[in-house]
Structure 1
Amino acid sequence: MVHISDRFVVVIPVFNQLHFTSQCVESLLRQHVETDEILIIDNASSDETPLWLAQHSELRHLRNRENLGCGCAWAQGVVLSPDAEWIVLLNNDVLSGPEAIHNLLDAAEREKLGVVSPALLEGPNDYDFEDFAPKFQKNMSGMIRRGRFHGVCFAIHRSVTEKIGFPDTDRRLGGYEDAEFFFRCRRAGIPVGIVGDSVFHHFGSITQKAIKQKTGQKSLGDLKYFRSRVGSKWWSRKRDKFVSRFIFRKWISDERAGTGCSLHMIRRDGAWELH
């Protein structure tokens, strides 16, 4: 693997949950991501995260004095990485598959995508991800779902932020920042997609669940406000839901036909659900 200087930076917003952060970083390093290609934005963690970051000075990091939210952390990552061609925005509750970041960007460039996400295996890691991921990736390589990306991991080409701006920092969007960015991409005609050349295991919105449990909030964002921000009307949502149902069924059918898998699988009770 040839290291391309300034090709990318991986931006990881964190709020507590040090166990997940540390194993996420370790998995990236095992897959040939360099320490100077990782930027951790600490949103005022109150656990041992600040101490851990201080002990790992080889990792670039920024600590916010208060929790500014995911969107602000993403935007900070873009601002602090002016020379990176790609900004990879990544949850901390994930494990990297084989060469996941490099393969993700290679696929994006091959498919001429401005924003790209990897395949996801979600839920408990009760299936030996390290053994399963290489086989899954080999089978799914070359497959693509055009017109979608997801907030667990999405890489943005520099040209995209120059065209439509940074991820939104509005705190009222909490949890909908990726969806707001998707709406802007769609309106600007930015090609986006999910590719099978790269895969991550996602434990499942660990930070959001922890914040909800601590605060008692059912949702971190204001759904009505989000819809008004992006101009999402009732009739357009019904239309999109109707169309998406058929699109996703076709994706799953096509992907399953040759492999028995899909680009999004959820682990429940020791078995896989295709999504």
Structure 2
Amino acid sequence: MIHCEGLVKIYKAADLEVFALQGLDLQVEAGELMAIIGNSGSGKSTLLNMLGGLDRPTAGVLQVNGLDLLRAGERDLIRYKRETVGFVWQNNARNLIPYLTALENVELPILLTGRSKRQRALYLLEAVGLAHRAGNKLNQLSGGEQQRVAIAIALANSPKLLLADEPTGSVDTRMAEQILDLFRELNRNAGITIVIVTHDPQLAKKVDRVVAIRDGKTSSEMIRKKSYAEELAELEMGLAEAETETHVEYAVLDKAGRLQVPAGYLESIGAKNANKVKLEVADGRIIIMPPESAEGKG
């Protein structure tokens, strides 16, 4: 569904150039439910905007559902945004029109397709558990209910890819759980590929794969030992206890053999501020040592 290779994005302001993405690689299979995490300024929102067709890469490869988003014309991009991708923003003001009812908000994007909007909109509100609130204006809905209306809007044109930018950032823990459960249900029942961008590492416990971005590159991946569904089934049957470590973390190795070593690892061997380290191969393992340790050993 998503293929990124050597993705670069440079923003220019006056004489200043800012590298938001610096050769990012990412693969997402069709039907995946995955999360992208990273600190503020890591490049995750830049990536999301490009996946949504809202911004273009400076260089590299970016293909979504077979469309080359670097070279696509304006007409293809408009069709892509209407038919392929749906967006859920953290700020509900970007999703919703306040003077319309929940039903009217969902009907609006369906108007562009010429389909019967009322039936489709009611179906989507029911899918997100809000059929009983169809006639309510936004000021009559809670933050979590508004976010679920936003999800229904994002699904209005049956997208193949759903992008969610901090979808649980403005709701409480209980509502965040419900929204994530809704994403899982949509992913499982409708087969929609869902990419959630967040700074919250707790999301790692809810999805099967998490990609971490640091300094504009993918730095590590966390892959669940067992699928979330398998884990829940075992817990319900009393066959297993909840694991504290649900995922295995892998460093990402690019085609040139480069990887990002977590800062905590480097700090633990006294090499946090070093600009070079010593590598050795021993017993089938690659050992990283700080420069002073390597020099002393020599």
TM-score, length-scaled by structure 2: 0.30
Structure number with higher strand proportion: 2
Which structure has more helix as a fraction of its residues? 1
Task: Say which one has the larger Rg.
Answer: 2
